[in-house]
Amino acid sequence: MQPFKWSILSFEQLSKAQLIAILKLRQQVFMLEQNSLYLDIDGEDEHCSHLLVEQDNVLIGYARLAPPASCHPNYPVLGRIVLAKQGRGVGLGEKLIKTGLDTLAKWYPGVAIKISAQQALVPYYQQFGFEEKGEPYDDGGVMHLDMLLLPTR
């Protein structure tokens, strides 16, 4: 088994196979495993960068890196964070989130980073320094809460 291959690609740089793998993984986890029916293809992927973790040419992990004014008017957004079953329980999720956060902080220094956290995962994201903002809301049948990671001084 090969080591993990990490990539950050623009939408234009994604191969057709990578795009299909991303959409398939997001549907597998968000729609089928979590039974959340929503329009995953939201028109924002084209404006975002894509963090991929692959092993043996199979997509294991993914996160969408959205610039300000794409998914939120004021903040970059780390979203669509997802791991395939074989990537869970080995610390890959933490590394995926940290890599996404480090990348967004480098690209947008001094700007808070937003996530839309599933309510059950709020304590997990608080470990990264995220703070709750606003009230819980239903997104595709799963309760979510907006959270911000304020820039370090």
Q: Which two tokens stand for residue 42?
A: 């939201």
| Torsional class of 12: left (φ above 0), alpha (ψ -120 to 50), beta (otherwise) | alpha
pLDDT at residue 153 in the model: 62
User: What is the span of the domain harbouring residue 131?
Assistant: 5-149
How do residues 17-62 score in pLDDT, each as one tens digit? 999 999 999 999 887 777 777 767 778 999 999 999 999 999 999 9
Q: Which two tokens stand for residue 23?
A: 């959409």
How many separate domains does the chain show?
1
pLDDT at residue 35 in the model: 72
Torsions phi, psi for 86 (to 5 deg): -70, -10
How do residues 138-149 score in pLDDT, each as one tens digit? 988 889 999 999
How do residues 52-95 score in pLDDT, each as one tens digit? 999 999 999 999 999 997 778 789 999 999 999 998 998 999 99
Report the Cα 22 to chain-centroid distance in Å. Answer: 11
Closest C-alpha to 104, from 81, 136, 127, 137: 81
Q: How far apart are CA 25 and CA 29, in angstroms?
A: 6
pLDDT at residue 39 in the model: 67
How do residues 86-126 score in pLDDT, each as one tens digit? 989 989 999 999 999 999 999 999 999 999 999 999 999 99
How does residue 130 score in pLDDT terms, banded at 50, 70 and 90? very high
- CATH number of the domain within which 75 lies: 3.40.630.30
Task: State the pTM of this model.
Answer: 0.92
pLDDT at residue 69 in the model: 78
- Taking the alpha carbons at both ends of the chain, their separation in whole angstroms is 41
Q: What per-residue string of b and e applies to 83-116 under the rule 16 or more CB within 10 Å gives b?
A: bbeebeeeebbeebbebbbebbbeebeebbbbbb
Element containing residue 99 per DSSP (H, E): helix 92-107
